[in-house]
Amino acid sequence: MNLSEFKLQSLGIDKEKFGKIYTFVDFGNVDYWFEYDTRDFDDNDLPAGQKLIVDLEKLSNFLKLFSDHKRFYFGLDLKNRKSFHLSIKAKSLFDKANTKPIQRIKHYLKDLELKSNTRSICEDVRGKYIYIPKCNFDVEICIDAIRSLEKYDTFCLLSSDADFAALAEFLKRRGKKFILISAGYVSHWLKDKADLNINAQRIKREIAVIKQKPRL
């Protein structure tokens, strides 16, 4: 058994059981999986000023271990040059990369969030806030999953968004298996429909890198 086979076996991904797997990455959700994580790959405290982020190349290489097709969904920030670079990189790493412009939602920070926040902080009469990019791909992912229904045996979703529960139920009724890879709190409406649940903490080493936090 090689290293790749060992990784998949330890996660419960049996290719004989799950057959052809199509993977759908809701990156607007995935990008925040380790936002407040304070532990490194060996469960030690991260040094001050460092954080974990999901790395596209590592994510793509991990999904290659078991996916027959990988689709990526990402909100494009028209005011951020890095966003364009990420989009270009995603198109080179995934079988299909879908983008559309994001919206910016103002989020006021509580005391605990102020201590752990890594984003640029603004302030007005109501208090301190950050802008959270918002771009929902629920419809696009559902349409693509249904359109390609006859091409796969297993639908693999990277997201913690409970809105996908209806899609999962639809696919299960049509004989498809469902692998869910998620982080944080996941509603039972979504989680209970999965044939296999994988918490992102179990694949942190495989998909994330440690980076320096930006100076505020």
pLDDT tens, N- to C-terminus, the chain (216 residues): 566 778 899 999 998 999 999 999 999 899 989 988 999 999 999 988 899 999 999 999 999 999 999 999 998 887 777 888 888 999 999 999 999 887 777 767 776 555 555 567 777 877 787 767 676 788 999 999 999 999 999 999 999 999 999 999 999 999 999 999 999 889 999 999 999 999 999 999 999 999 987 765
Q: Write down the pLDDT at residue 95.
A: 97
Q: Which residue segments constitute the domains of the chain, with CATH numbers given?
A: 3-101+136-212 (3.40.50.1010)
Cα distance between residue 156 and residue 160, in whole Å = 12
Q: Write down the pLDDT at residue 133.
A: 67
**CA nearest to 31, candidates 200, 189, 144:** 200
Place of tokens 């759908």: 24
Tell whether pTM > 0.75: yes
Q: Write down the pLDDT at residue 113.
A: 56
Q: Write down the pLDDT at residue 36.
A: 87
Q: Write down the pLDDT at residue 115.
A: 56
Contacts of 127 (CB under 8 A, 6+ apart): 108, 109
Cα distance between residue 176 and residue 190, in whole Å = 15
Contacts of 44 (CB under 8 A, 6+ apart): none
For residue 168, give Cα distances in angstroms to 100, 138, 148, 191. Answer: 24, 12, 14, 10
